[in-house]
Structure 1
Amino acid sequence: MKTITKSALAAAVLGALMLSAAPTTVMAAGGASGAAVKYAKQGQIGEVITNPYRIAPLTAIIRSGGYTLTDVKVRIVPKENGAEIKYDVDRSEVLTHGGIPVFGLYPDYVNTVEVSYTRTDLTGEKKAVNEAYKIYAPPVYTEGNGTVSQKSTMFDTTVVKADPEFKDRLYLVNNLLVSPPKGSRVVWNNPSGGALEWCFYPQNAIIDATGEVRWYMNVDSIYDMESVYNGGVMMGFQQGDDGALTWGYGQRYVKYDIMGREVFNRRLPAGYEDFSHSFDQAQNGNFLLRVAANDVRRPDGRNVRTVRDVIAEVNPAGRVVDDWRLWEILDPYRDVVIKSLDQGAVCLNLDADSAGKTLSSADLAAMDKEEHFGDITGVGIGRNWAHVNSVDYDPTDDSIIISSRHQSAIIKIGRDKKVKWILGAPDGWQKAWADKVLKPVDKDGNPIKCEQGKCENTTFDWTWTQHTAFRIDSKSDKRFVYLTAFDNGDGRGLEQPPLPDMKYSRAVVYKVDQEKGTVEQLWEFGKERGHAWYSPVTSLTQYEADKDSIMVYSATPEMQLVKGKAVGAPNPYLMEFKWGSTEPAVEIRINGSMGYQAMPFRVEKAFHHAK
């Protein structure tokens, strides 16, 4: 017979008394009456989950609460004199996120979010609901670089102008935090590098037309500056027809929706390395990635990694279906542009000690003799001879249009890897390519004489160290190609000017007649703004069909390299123009930030997909 101690007997009696005294609703905490419901509800459906996928802190999901939700609409109540964000939500988005996706919250603010929906329960009973939620979103947080030049973790903006027609605009701004010490611990492509030499912390945000941040990316869960395969510079953003964003960084190319949900996040295919600049969602359903080849045998027998001179075409499943190896298509030894560049500002390789210096033929020959390869301006395979910074697909003839900064040329190349035309100064091209150079004409079709990098007609100029050569799909056809480009302007006329402040940049639109082999300049902006608007590197010009407008981002103005020192932080201009106008409808300054690119973001595409 077992002996029961006094202490055990007392515990048993106490437990029995507690059970008999407890209300039956205790069983709801996971007991027989059902699963526990421990969250606080504000409205008539489920709980609010903020930052649901960890990378978009100014988003939230209002859970469905077990109901079927249809006819969903969302409105973020603006601050006084603020910009309103409102959108319809497809049923597919409700199913994907398990509730109502909320986008566009103000940071460090208690937001009022108005939602309406039809709620259907298990009995089939429908109820139309209109209600408001209070959702606090925390302050913006991103990485710092430890310098006094960084004064905030995200953009400080000044709205100079925003016409009423553009008050609903949202702009995705893709900027960079330069020189964080964590990002300089890995050098790729020894002894000096490719994309991992570029390891700048991302500053990606969406601002409204009043300059307020309404979304930003906290990249910490998908990005690591100290990792070869998870670091780099985030570039090449596009919003696809499904509303999701694609971009790349270092050795990765990715796709996420605006709520932060991962669609894919992939390593580059094994034969390639060093993504930067351009990720084009082609109309044929594939992706065009500007990369480099990681093992190429030169004619002299040396094996090298190439630099910014390969376009890889990847299908949605991640299989490479084609590539364009540009040293096999163009002349990697054309040096007339390379020798005219300011070596202090070669894209993001900013070297104050080299400001104003150029390369000579002897310098280029010495590089080859010394077997000096890597991300350096030079000629030949294994050096930065092409520096392609954009790729765009032309579905009318299954070809690509590239912008080659270090050739100061926009070039169309077919699927057969043959050059169709070259929009750039005719100087320095060997015979195989010289016949492909487009002939400039005025508005009446009369030829314009150009030689030694200069044109006699002031209504036309070539682009110089340009960025973003984009086809205007809605205005182009099989014969005529309308193109936008940002003409940065370094090495204009194949020379450095007597004074640095004589440099200027332009946003420009061209019309190419592919049958006649001619090019006409239709529009430009920037020359009249002079050096104050000059961006030595980066930037974008892009047509926007919804407002028949030209979006321009002069991303690095006021950044100067003088006598071995960087003077002045960039203060980018974000501008939008009605077609044909040289007066901006929108002008927003991004103060004290290293700009790369910017573009409109369309919230209706993100949540309400075209059928």
Structure 2
Amino acid sequence: MTRNELCRIACAISAAFLVAAPSAVLAVGGPSGTQVNFQRQGELGEVVVNPYDIAPLTAVIRNGGEVLLKAHVRIVPKKGGAEIAYDVGPTALRTYGGIPVFGLYPEYLNEIEVKWTKKTMAGPVEKTETYRIWTPPVYLDPSWTHGRPVKTFDTKIVTPAAKGFGDRLYLINNLLPESPKGSRAVWNNPTGGALQWNNYPQNAIVDTRGDVRWYMQPSAIYDPRSLNKAGIMMGFHQNEDGALTWGYGQRYVKYDLMGREIFNRVLPDGYADFSHAMAVGPDGHYFLRVSAADLKRADGTHVHTVRDVIAEVDSAGRVVDDWRLFEILDPNRSIVIKSIDQGAVCLNVDLEQTGKTLSAEQLARLEAKHAFGDIAGTGAGRNWAHVNSVDYDKADDSIIISSRHQSAVIKIGRDKEVKWILGAPNGWNGKLREKVLTPVDKDGKPIPCRIGKCEGDFDWTWTQHTGWKVDELSEPGISVVTVFDNGDGRAFKQPENPKDKYSRAVMYRIDEKKGTVEQIWEYGKNRGHALYSAITSSVEYEADKDSLLVYWASIGVQDKTGVNPVLTEFRRGGKDPVFEMQIRGSMGYRALAIDLGKAFKE
């Protein structure tokens, strides 16, 4: 056989192979690149559900090689369900390589109406299509929850959304019990700081019909066995770019609503135990509520402090400033510590201690024994401050903190000097006593107060949470502040009847030049013990609807019937909620409104 005949046979075999099995060539690259196998529903590319592994009710419709200019997405609601629809801009289309789909129902064949515009040589071409996406049920890891079923979330609509509020989406930041997979860890040898708390995350976004439309599957970023990947997820905020920031344990993080990681960082060396608060600052800065990992006290003792340091980090993760509150405030002020209910100190809920308080002798024994850790007490190295929120005031480059165990909201400048204290004047040392605001009525007349109790329509806040400035309602020298007044230890005492306790959402107007404070709105006192939340909880002003969102997050925490939080929203100044929803059988921390426009519009 000649060489030419051999060549003809070899070429014929090669040609036949290409016709019979083109995928074998394309799979290794081929003339057109890597092989792509997927089934298209429409004219665009594949549908990728849960593209970043932590948000199972999201998807991306890939662009299929097209240049998409804009899109509009509508999740067809269930019968009687809430509408979710939003525009998608070119930045988001490029970032996700296609059209982001947010707000799918779990365990459901979702129908998604998509209108998109693509770039062509002849000009923009618009197309409308319908896609169908099946989603699995909500799955967390609830097998250890005391032998009872857990649902994310079991909701009951008490007051249907009023006109103009039906499109609300609420992020609910709740907690499951600690996982046995990691609960045996001693986080801070020899005794714990905040990191001994390791409740499993239960975070979801619900609509005004009570349906879950997004939830976090934490396993990709959370591991209860790992000291650097566990801890309670707290401090959620939606940034102006639409992404979420929060922290847990030894980390502070930022992810967008699709689950895409922007950053996930370990706390800087020298600081530990993030919990409660991660405030958004200017130019990519964040204010983290942490602790000092190693403090040498005046008596020479080295301690790990508890919830009493604010660290400011820049966009590169560098610590550009910090506020060491044990040096700025008075860690030995004990009047509040001695009056709070020891049955519910933050997440340390012990029903056998309900109604009991600490005495001066007990506090002195802690000091004498050199007993330190996450325990209620005075002095650095104990839970004397329990700062549970921080806010940045751009008006004068200051921070505003809420100190639960001082029952005070406090403004502190960049120079570490206290500007004002919103809290009862009793027990402060002379320098700080001068910073306590004077209560006034609507006419500016001082309101008499004695031992924490004031006349007329004014009260201080007690073991409060979320002391935040409302920039939209404030003006130079005048700060409007919202606070969730938990109400434990009101007027420095426990009531004879525990059912007399109540919580409030409250708004104040502070005249910083005059040093006065006026109470301009409250809700909750009228409903008494029914909304009493001894711990956690939040209130936040929502500028888009001129409203206040209040989460009564720990109702029933000291009752044997279980915890049943309530979420309410009010028009500013309103006497009744425009929406109310109960979440049954789940321990709450905070809630916030979610704006899809921020997430996808660009």
Normalising by structure 1, what TM-score?
0.94
Distance 1:101 1:79 in 2: 20
Count of residue pairs brought into register by the alignment: 591
After the TM superposition, which residues 78-477 of structure 1 pair with which residues of structure 2 at under 5 Å, given as runs?
78-121=77-120, 123=121, 126-148=124-146, 150-161=148-159, 162-283=161-282, 285-457=284-456, 459-477=457-475
How far apart in 1 are the matches of 2:133 and 2:301? Answer: 60
Does the residue aligned with 1:366 lie in a helix, a strand or coil? helix
Consecutive unaligned residues of structure 1, counting only runs of 5 or more, are 1-11, 562-566
Q: Amino acid of the residue matched to residue 597 of structure 1?
A: R
Aligned in 2, Cα 1:26/1:287: closer, same or farther, shift over 3 Å?
Answer: closer
Shift in Å, 1:37? 3.2
Deviations 1:494-549 (A, max 9, x none): 00110111111000000001111010000111111111110000000110111100
SS, match of residue 164 in structure 1: coil
Q: Matched residue of 2:460: which SS?
A: coil
The residue aligned with 1:5 is none
Letter in 2 for 1:291: V
Q: How far did residue 282 of structure 1 move?
A: 1.5
Q: Is 1:589 aligned to 2:587, yes or no? A: no
Alignment partner for residue 563 of structure 2, among 570, 587, 595? 570
- Contact kept in structure 2, 1:141 and 1:153, CA below 8 Å: no
Contact residue 194 and residue 306 of structure 2 kept, 8 A: no
1:493 & 1:33 partners in 2: Cα distance?
76
1:115 deviation in Å? 0.8
Pair 1:537 & 2:535 matched: yes
1:500 to 493, 498, 503: 498
**Match for residue 591 of structure 2?**
598
2:485 maps to which residue?
487
Given that 1:540 and 1:598 are in contact with CA atoms closer than 8 Å, whether structure 2 keeps it comes out as yes
1:97-155 deviation per Cα after TM superposition (whole angstroms, max 9, x unaligned): 1111110000000101111111224x455321100100111110001152346422411
Q: Distance in 2 between matches of 1:146 and 1:538?
A: 23
Separation in 2, partners of 1:24, 1:320: 57
Select between 441-450 and 187-196 the one with higher mean Cα deviation: 187-196
Question: d(CA) in 1 for partners of 2:307 and 2:34?
Answer: 56
- Alignment counterpart, residue 553 of structure 1, candidates 531, 544, 551: 551
- Equivalent residues of 2:145, 2:177 under 8 A apart: no
State the 1:456 CA deviation: 2.3
Is the deviation greater in 268-277 or in 173-182?
173-182
Q: 1:32 to 1:475 in 2, by over 3 A?
A: closer
Distance 1:202 1:23, change over 3 A: closer
Q: Which residue of 1 aligns with 2:7?
A: none
Find the residue that maps to 1:168 and give its secondary structure. coil
After TM superposition, the structure 1 stretch with the greater mean CA deviation from structure 2, 244-253 or 179-188, is 179-188
For 1:517 and 1:359, locate their aligned partners in 2 and report how far apart those are by CA, in whole Å: 32
Give the match for residue 3 of structure 1.
none
- How far off is 1:34 after superposition? 5.4
How many angstroms apart in 2 are the aligned matches of 1:573 and 1:23? 61
What are the Cα deviations for residues 527-584 of structure 1, in whole angstroms up to 9, with x where unaligned?
11111110000000110111100110000112225xxxxx121111100000111100
Are the structure 2 counterparts of residues 43 and 361 from structure 1 closer, same or farther at C-alpha, using a change threshold of 3 Å? Answer: same
Give the 3-state SS of the residue equivalent to 2:445 in structure 1: coil
Quote the Cα distance in structure 1 between the aligned partners of 2:178 and 2:222: 16
CA distance in 2, matches of 1:17, 1:241: 58
TM superposition score normalised by structure 2: 0.95
Percent identity of paired positions between Structure 1 and Structure 2: 58
- What letter corresponds to residue 292 of structure 1 in structure 2? S
In 2, are the aligned partners of 1:190 and 1:374 still within 8 Å (CA)? Answer: no
Report the residue type matching 2:491 in the other structure.
G
Residue deviations 1:384-438, cap 9 Å, x none?
Answer: 0000000001111110110000000000000000000100000001101111000
Measured in 1, the distance between the counterparts of 2:131 and 2:532 equals: 46
For 2:588, the aligned partner's letter is: G
Q: Secondary structure at the match of 2:439?
A: strand
TM-superposed deviation, 1:285: 3.7
Alpha-carbon distance in 2 for matches of 1:576, 1:535: 17
Report the equivalent of 2:517: 519
How many angstroms does 1:193 deviate by? Answer: 1.6
Give how far 1:475 is off. 0.8
Question: Distance between the aligned counterparts of 1:191 and 1:259, measured in 2?
Answer: 40
Helix, strand or coil at the partner of 2:178: coil
Contact 2:238–2:594 (Cα < 8 Å) also in 1: yes
The CA deviation string for residues 147-187 of structure 1, in whole angstroms up to 9 with x for no partner, is 34642241110111211210000000000002332241212
- Write the letter of the residue equivalent to 1:370: K
Please report how far the alpha carbon of residue 224 of structure 1 lies from its aligned counterpart in structure 2 after TM superposition. Answer: 0.7
**Residues 17, 408 of structure 1: alpha-carbon distance in 2 compared, 3 angstrom cutoff:** closer
Kept in 2, the 8 Å contact 1:280–1:288? The answer is yes
Indicate the SS of the match to 2:362: helix
Partners of 2:530 and 2:129 in 1: CA distance: 49
Q: Secondary structure at the match of 2:194?
A: coil
Q: Measure how far apart 1:600 and its partner are.
A: 0.3
CA–CA separation in structure 1 for the residues paired with 2:191 and 2:206 = 36
Q: Is the Cα contact below 8 Å between 1:284 and 1:395 reproduced in 2? A: no
Instruction: State whether structure 2 residue 577 is matched by structure 1 residue 579.
Output: no
Shift of 1:20: 8.8
Distance in 2, matches of 1:183 and 1:601, equals: 31
- Give ranges in structure 2 of 5+ residues lacking alignment: 1-9
Which amino acid in 2 is paired with 1:300?
A: D
SS of residue in 2 equivalent to 1:356 = coil
Q: How far did 1:36 drift? A: 2.4
How far did 1:24 drift? 6.8
Note closer, same or farther for the CA distance 1:322–1:129 as it changes in structure 2 (3 Å cut): same
* Shift of residue 35, structure 1, vs aligned partner: 4.3
* CA distance 1:120–1:434, change in 2 (3 Å): same
Q: CA RMSD in A?
A: 1.9
Any idea what SS the aligned residue of 2:300 has? Answer: coil
User: How far is the alpha carbon of 1:208 from its aligned partner?
Assistant: 0.5
Residue 526 of structure 2: aligned partner: 528
1:190: Cα distance to partner?
A: 3.1
Contact 2:235–2:277, Cα closer than 8 Å, also in 1: yes
Question: CA-to-partner distance for each residue in 1:369-388, whole Å, 9 max, x for gaps?
Answer: 11100000000010000000
